[in-house]
Amino acid sequence: MRTQRSFVRCGVLAATIALVSGSVSAQNRGGGPPGRIGGPPGAPPSPKVAALADLTGTWVSLITEDWRYRMFTPPKGDYTSVPLNGAGRKVAEAWDPAKDEAAGEQCRAYGAAGIMRLPTRLRISWQDDTTLKIEADAGTQTRLLHFGPSHENHENGQDWQGLSTASWEYPRAIIAGRGAAGPPSGGALQVVTTRMRPGYLRRNGVPYSANAVMTEYFVRLDVPGGDSLLVVTAEIVDPEYLATPYWTSTQFKRQTDAAGWNTTPCAAR
């Protein structure tokens, strides 16, 4: 029942994102279609210039749901609301944090499929014109989101944050009714992450495998009162450990400064 409610909640969130995508117009840097934003005709702008929303800055996680799973390490074998299959349950029930520490695997819960759900702060910036960088103070982790073909340092295997390919997504349902006027303001950042080192969806050993694929949508919402929220909706597909896709929605609030930023090492429990 809880899993069903989670799917319903994420469905409602997806509908909300579609309805409010225009609210990010204050951050919009690319009101026209690709290829018409800056530069000579036919020369597409860089992803940084074409950004549909400004995601940069320091963001703090708002933990208003799944509190006991995110603020604390749940008991061993507690995988409520995660659609584990038989193999996944077997791994979760065999979790041994001491064994993870001995093997140097204490960062298993800090990989790409788990880090955004931890109580953490994010520092988002452009590393260059085609790479968005997300630093998390929990576990001192860094995710690089590559626009277009990518590669460096990923040819030799997998790492905790995997290989993330990003693209700006226009609200196409709205575009369909605008004809030659071009796309409206607003949109989302889509990120597809693969090649992740096996890790945990929760700190108590709920697993995802090396074959997992995570698709995320990052949407900035500017709300009354001057605050800005970052909503990250994620779908994790893992045929090795999950019976169905696993959906989450995670919220962050933008800070006006870097107060509270405190990098900490990975911890196995």
pLDDT digits (tens, 9 = 90+) for 127-158: 999 999 999 999 999 999 999 875 554 455 68
In a domain, 191, yes or no: yes
Rounded to whole angstroms, the Cα distance separating 212 from 166 reads 17
Residue 268 is encoded by which pair of tokens?
A: 């196995």
Distances (CA, A) of 152 to 134, 146, 165: 17, 10, 12
Tokens 């690709």 belong to residue: 34
Average of pLDDT values for 188-217? 97
In a domain, 40, yes or no: yes
Contact 60, 260 (CB under 8 A): yes
Q: What is the model's pTM?
A: 0.81
pLDDT higher than 50, residue 76: yes
Q: pLDDT digits over 28-50, tens only? A: 443 444 444 454 567 789 999 99
In a domain, 79, yes or no: yes
Average of pLDDT values for 238-257? 97
Range of the domain at 61: 2-254
At 159, is the secondary structure helix, strand, or coil? strand
Average of pLDDT values for 173-192? 61
Cβ burial 141-159 (10 Å sphere, 16+ → b, else e): bebbbbbeebeeebeeeee
Rounded to whole angstroms, the Cα distance separating 154 from 145 reads 13
Other CB atoms within 10 Å distance of the CB of residue 5 = 10
How is 58-119 classified by DSSP, letter by letter?
A: EEEEE--SSHHHHSSPPPTT--TTS-B-HHHHHHHHT--HHHHHHTT-TTGGGSHHHHTTSS
In a domain, 232, yes or no: yes
Total of domains in the chain: 1
Rounded to whole angstroms, the Cα distance separating 108 from 94 reads 14
Distances (CA, A) of 157 to 163, 181, 265: 10, 45, 23
Closest CA to 34 of 161, 155, 168, 217: 168
In a domain, 262, yes or no: no
Rounded to whole angstroms, the Cα distance separating 39 from 25 reads 21
Contacts 24+ apart (CB under 8 A), 143-149: 143/112, 143/115, 145/189, 145/191, 147/47, 148/47
In a domain, 259, yes or no: no
Rounded to whole angstroms, the Cα distance separating 39 from 42 reads 8
Q: pLDDT digits over 197-206, tens only? A: 999 999 999 9
Q: How far apart are the first and last CA of the chain?
A: 28
Rounded to 5 degrees, φ, ψ at 155 are -70, -25
In a domain, 134, yes or no: yes
In a domain, 260, yes or no: no
